[in-house]
Amino acid sequence: MESKFHKLTKLSLLLVYLVIIAGAFVRMTGSGMGCPDWPKCFGFYVPPTEVSQILFKANNEYSKGQMILYNEEELLVAKSDFTSDDFINLNNWQVYEKHDYVIFNPVHTWIEYINRLIGAISGIPILIFTIISIIYFKKFRHLTLISIITLAAMGFQAWLGKTVVDSNLAAYKITLHMLMALFIVALLIYLVYSGSKTFIKTNKTFKYLILFGLLLTLIQIVLGTQVRQIVDEQAKLFAYDKSMWLNDIPFIYEYHRTFSIIVISVNMALFLINKKLQLGNKYINYVILLLVLEIFTGASMFYFDFPFGTQTAHLVFASIIFGLQFYILLQNFLTENKLKADDLQT
């Protein structure tokens, strides 16, 4: 059962990263409002593929909560189940007032729907390993609490997703949504680490420097989400003229770019310490590789007007760097406790 538990935590971590990838793709393509309601999409469990599906139809059966696009100006929601007459009766409908976004784009709708679908699927293994940890509480002990927190965090993240849609993609809610995803990643990495049987050498300088590096990465990600919001606003103004997206951009972009020098310097110091002291931590090598890719995607967006996929890759690389750093942090701070726990079990 312990083996199944840890396999499920690894699967959950993989699925959560797929959600992050899908979410980044939603952001890149501007599909965040592809489904104007939540948890359904235009009131459907399976979203529409063409606009005719959300226009009023005579003598048609409508379900409570189903939406139609009315006069291309507003969304109407069915108050209850009913069959329509030859002409629309507005008494059967109410205006959707949570936001005023009324554009239907089938591509955006399905991108957002797939993102939600992956999110829902990712919750299944989390639910299962949480149930396992509760049933076998004596065996898992403190992991039961972490499992329950992870499951609750997934529920809260789903609610946050709803509020993001209801607010028509408010910037601070998008940032909070991203930080919550990283919190879930951290919880899952802790659970994955709990099943690890490998141990590494630790060093006090390396130990606290990785903590500092992790905090810097978090700050850099927050700065990046703010830059991304500014780019979104510029994109609305200049549409497909990507060369203008960084035109007259505020000081926060300079902070984000300059701060990256500090992030790189700290991680290079970690790499050199690991090599010099032969600590044997291979994950710091992956961090450096991903930082190189992060710089490449960031430079590509700036100098080559946002090539397709670079925005998604930039965010995903940052999320993976955070995950690797957190795993390294656990290796250095929890190795002694883990050894003691294993000794007690044997």
Domain boundaries, the chain: 1-33+105-197, 35-104, 200-340
> What average pLDDT does the segment 323-345 reach?
73
pLDDT of 241: 60
What band does 340 get if pLDDT is binned at 50, 70 and 90?
Answer: very low
For residue 100, what pLDDT band results from cuts at 50, 70 and 90? confident
What band does 311 get if pLDDT is binned at 50, 70 and 90?
Answer: confident
Q: What is the pTM of this model?
A: 0.88
Look at 103 and 114; give whichever has higher pLDDT. Answer: 114
Residue 303: pLDDT band (50, 70, 90) is: confident
For residue 80, pLDDT over 90 is answered with yes
Average confidence (pLDDT) over 240-245: 59
Q: Which residue has the higher pLDDT, 324 or 27?
A: 324
Query: What would the pLDDT profile of 203-234 be if each residue is shown by its tens digit?
Result: 999 999 999 999 999 999 998 888 877 776 66
Selecting from 2.30.30, 2.10.10, 2.40.10, 2.40.30, what CATH number does the domain 35-104 have?
A: 2.10.10
Higher pLDDT, 208 or 336: 208
pLDDT tens-digit readout, 151-201? 999 999 999 999 999 888 888 888 899 999 999 999 999 999 998 877 788
Query: What's the rounded mean pLDDT across residues 116-133?
Result: 96
- Does residue 308 register a pLDDT over 70? yes
Place of tokens 């903590």: 211
Q: What does pLDDT average to over the chain?
A: 89
> What per-residue confidence (pLDDT) applies to 339?
46
Look at residue 82 and tell me whether its pLDDT is greater than 90.
yes
pLDDT band at 275 (very low <50, low <70, confident <90, very high): very high
Q: What angle do CA 89, 94, 97 make, to 5 degrees?
A: 150
Tell me, what's the pLDDT at 343? 44
Percentage of residues in the chain with pLDDT exceeding 90? 66
Give the model's pLDDT for residue 177. 93
Q: Give the residue-averaged pLDDT of 96-109.
A: 90
Decide if pLDDT at 247 tops 80: no
- Please state, for a pLDDT cut of 70, what percent of the chain lies above it: 91
Residue 66 pLDDT more than 60? yes
pLDDT score at 35: 94
